[in-house]
Chains A and B, each alone.
Chain A
């Protein structure tokens, strides 16, 4: 069985542009999490999905960030009007059970905003 996959692995964009980052969770996992990791820091929580709905988006830094999971599987993290401070590795994790299930992480997408 495949693990969590994320595309693209690297994304370079210019300040002010719009980007989309994709996450394919482990098949059958209902819980999906997005984290962001800045250089030299541990990952920081952004948003959590249970099924199709965002159950907790308290970690999203501002309204330029948005995430969807329309069919309860693949999720897309969307960033509008990117800023240089958005440069980071964006990690996705999925779990079979949101409360007790272990989270398994993808390899991440490295976003660089020039």
Chain B
């Protein structure tokens, strides 16, 4: 699976949009971009995933560049409860030997402040 690069930490004011970047320049054509977050002392929580089109759900939006070498997770109106470690993961699909296992990096610590 391709490696990802994320900034170690970011700050965001409550009520503002949080934009979390991720670089995955070695991503291959059959690999998805997944985002998870982990709030202190809890298991990772699935947020969103995409292949090449932008995606939106009730939690967030995912913007993937046309060349697929980077993406941005957008939390449109951050709240204090969004303070967490955010992981960007590239995951292989059918035909690979990774069997869909997730390879976590260090992630980005997002701190939402009042």
Contact = CB atoms under 8 A, between A and B. Distances in A.
A95 B101 CA distance: 11
Interface stretch (B21-29, B43-51, B59-67): B43-51
Contacts, number: 62
A20 interface: no
Contact of B99 (A50, A91, A105, A107): A50
A31 B102 CA distance: 13
Give the interface SS of chain B, mostly helix, strand, loop or mixed.
loop
Contact of A95 (B44, B98, B100): B100
Given A104-B46, A106-B43, A31 B104 contact: no
Contact of B44 (A31, A45, A55, A91): A91
A65 to B, nearest CB: 16
A103 B100 contact: yes
Nearest to A55: B99
B101 A42 contact: no
A56 interface: yes
A102 interface: yes
25 contacts: A35-B102, A35-B104, A42-B87, A43-B44, A43-B104, A56-B97, A56-B101, A93-B43, A93-B44, A98-B100, A99-B93, A99-B94, A99-B99, A99-B100, A100-B93, A100-B100, A101-B100, A102-B46, A102-B49, A103-B46, A103-B100, A103-B102, A106-B43, A107-B42, A107-B43
